[in-house]
Chains A and B, each alone.
Chain A
Amino acid sequence: MTVLLLIAVGALAGTLGAMLGIGGGIVLVPALVLGFDIPLEQAIPASLMCVVASSCSAAAGYVHKHLSDIRLGLSLELATVMGAIAGGMVAAMVAPAMVAVVFGLFTLYVALQMLLLRSPHQEPAALDDYAPTNYPLGISGSFVAGGLSSLLGVGGGPLKVPLMAYGMHVPFKVASATSNLMIGVTGAASVAAYALRGHLKLALVSPLVVGVLGGAYVGSRLMPRVPTAVLKRLFAVVLLVVAGQMLWKGGEGLWPSILK
C-alpha cells in the first residue's frame, strides 16, 4: 500500500514538475516528511533523484518537439553551476535563515505579481518567434539561483522560469521546457554528493522514481496543450508555496536569536 502511495505522490510531483519546469521537489519533500514520516536527510536526496527522473522523462519529449532551447540552457547552466560552487564556498559565512527569508520575500513578490498583475509583455504568437534578450540579467540571475540552490537546497526552477519568461522574454512554455532540461544536470550532481555520503535510500527512491517518470511523461504531453495563462497561474501558486516554505524555514532559524 505504501509503495502504491509513493508511486501516486511521485506521479503527481512528476506531472506538476514537468508542466512547470520545477522538478517536483516542492511536492515531494513536504509529502515525504509530513505524510510518510521520512527524515528530511533522506527525503531531500530522494526528491533530488526524482527531479533528475522528471527532467529526463519530460525533457526527452520537449527536446524532441524543439520546445527546449538547448543553447539558452547551456548558457544558464554554466552560470548556475558556478553559482552553486560559489554558494557552497560561502555557505559557512552567511546565515542560511536570513537568505531563506530574503528568497522567500522575493518569491512572494514574484508570485503576487504573476497572480495579480497583467504580464507587461505580450507572449509571442508562435513558440519559435522569439530571441532571448537580457543575457546579462539571465546569467547573473542563474548564478544567484545556483547559489541559492546550494545554500537553501531549493531547485533553481522556481527562480529560473520567471527569469527566462519575464527577464529574458522567452515564451513561458519554452522557459519551462528549458528549465526542465537544465535541472537534471544540477540535480544529478547534488544527488551524487548525497550518495557519496550514503544518504540515498534506494528502497524509498524506487517507487517514487517509477511514479515520477510516468507523471513527467504525462505532464510533458499535457503542457503544450494547456493555455499559457493557466500554466502561469499554476506556477504562481507553486511560487506561493515555495515562499511559504522559505519564510517558515527562515523564521525557524531566526526566531530563537530574536527571542534571545
Chain B
Amino acid sequence: MAEHPEVSEPEDARAARASVSAVAAEHPAVSHNVAVTGGAASLTQPDAGAAEQVRHHHRERAVVGDRWIARVLRVGAVVSGGMFVLSLGLEAMPQSERVHVAIDLLRKGAASLLLVTPVARLAVAGTLLGLRGEWRYMAMAAGVLGLLAVAVGAGIQA
C-alpha cells in the first residue's frame, strides 16, 4: 500500500487507506486469504475511494474473522490445558474417592473440549466465510463436518 500523495482522493478514502495500512503494519504476514489486492494506481479512477473503502471493509472483516477463529482455538487449548494441569495437581494431593472422581471428570472434560475445538473452528470458519458470501468455502466446511461425522460414526480413522 504505497502512498501516492500526488493523487487526489476523498478524505474518507484517505482515512480508509490509513486504516488498511495500520492493519497491514500490525499484521505483516498477511496471507492471500486475507490480502485484498489493488494499489494506489486504481485511485485515479473516479470511484477509487469507494472501491478502496470496499476493499478496506472486506479486509477488516477478514481480519476480524481470523481473530474469531484464533480465539476459538486459543480458548479451547488454554481451558483444556488448564483442566489437564489441574488434574495433574490433584494427583499430588492425598488420594480419596472425591479426588479420584474430580480427576476423572476434569480429564474427561478437558479431552472432550480439546476434541471439540478443531471442529468448532471449522464450524466458525464455515459460518464466517458464509457471512462473507463465500458459499463455496462454506459448503466445503459443511462437507468436511458431514464427512467427519460419517467417518466417526463408521469407526474410520480420518
Could you tell me which A residues sit within 8 Å of B by CB distance? 3, 49, 52-53, 55-57, 59-61, 63-72, 74-75, 77-78, 80-82, 84-85, 87-89, 126-128, 130-132, 146, 149-150, 153, 173-174, 181, 184-197, 200, 202-203, 205-207, 209-210, 213-214, 224
Contacts of B77 in A (CB 8 A): 53, 56-57, 60, 213
Q: Separation in Å of the B89 CB from the closest CB of chain A?
A: 11
Complex CA distance for A60 and B72, rounded to whole angstroms: 8
Contacts of A146 in B (CB 8 A): 158
Q: Tell whether, in the assembled complex, residue A55 and residue B156 are in contact, meaning their CB atoms are under 8 Å apart.
A: no
Out of B35, B91, B111, B151, name the residue touching A49 (CB < 8 Å).
Answer: B111
| 8 further interface pairs, Cβ-Cβ under 8 Å (given A57-B73, A63-B66, A205-B84) | A49-B114, A74-B125, A78-B147, A127-B30, A130-B32, A184-B121, A190-B158, A209-B114
Query: Interface centre among A67, A70, A203, A209, by most B CB within 10 Å?
Result: A70
Contacts of A195 in B (CB 8 A): 111, 115
Q: Separation in Å of the A222 CB from the closest CB of chain B?
A: 14
Residues 71-97 of chain B: 1 if any A CB is under 8 Å from the residue's CB, otherwise 0? 101101100110011011001000000
Contacts of A131 in B (CB 8 A): 32
6 smallest beta-carbon distances between A and B, as pairs: A88-B156, A184-B118, A60-B73, A189-B158, A64-B70, A60-B74
Complex CA distance for A18 and B114, rounded to whole angstroms: 16
Complex CA distance for A153 and B156, rounded to whole angstroms: 11
Interface of A is mostly: helix
A-B residue pairs in contact (CB < 8 Å), sample of 18: A53-B80, A56-B118, A59-B70, A63-B69, A66-B29, A66-B63, A70-B137, A75-B137, A126-B29, A128-B30, A149-B158, A184-B118, A188-B116, A191-B115, A197-B155, A202-B107, A209-B110, A210-B85
Could you tell me which B residues sit within 8 Å of A by CB distance? 27, 29-35, 63, 66-67, 69-71, 73-74, 76-77, 80-81, 84-85, 87-88, 91, 104, 107-108, 110-111, 114-119, 121-122, 125-126, 129, 134, 137, 140-141, 143-144, 147-148, 150-152, 154-158
User: Known contacts A52-B115, A128-B30: does B140 contact A84 (CB below 8 Å)?
Assistant: no
Q: Tell whether, in the assembled complex, residue B115 and residue A202 are in contact, meaning their CB atoms are under 8 Å apart.
A: no
Chain A residue with Cβ nearest B145: A185
Q: Tell whether, in the assembled complex, residue B115 and residue A84 are in contact, meaning their CB atoms are under 8 Å apart.
A: no
Q: Tell whether, in the assembled complex, residue B27 and residue A66 are in contact, meaning their CB atoms are under 8 Å apart.
A: yes
Complex CA distance for A62 and B30, rounded to whole angstroms: 10
Contacts of A224 in B (CB 8 A): 29
Out of B67, B107, B119, B151, name the residue touching A64 (CB < 8 Å).
Answer: B67
Contacts of A63 in B (CB 8 A): 66, 69-70, 73
Contacts of B87 in A (CB 8 A): 206
Q: Tell whether, in the assembled complex, residue A71 and residue B33 are in contact, meaning their CB atoms are under 8 Å apart.
A: yes
Q: Tell whether, in the assembled complex, residue A78 and residue B31 are in contact, meaning their CB atoms are under 8 Å apart.
A: no
Contacts of A149 in B (CB 8 A): 157-158
Out of B69, B114, B158, name the residue touching A81 (CB < 8 Å).
Answer: B158
Contacts of B85 in A (CB 8 A): 210
Q: Separation in Å of the B6 CB from the closest CB of chain A?
A: 25
Complex CA distance for A78 and B125, rounded to whole angstroms: 14
Complex CA distance for A205 and B109, rounded to whole angstroms: 13
Q: Tell whether, in the assembled complex, residue B156 and residue A193 are in contact, meaning their CB atoms are under 8 Å apart.
A: yes
Contacts of A191 in B (CB 8 A): 115
Out of A150, A188, A205, name the residue touching B156 (CB < 8 Å).
Answer: A150
Q: Tell whether, in the assembled complex, residue B81 and residue A210 are in contact, meaning their CB atoms are under 8 Å apart.
A: yes
Complex CA distance for A55 and B110, rounded to whole angstroms: 15
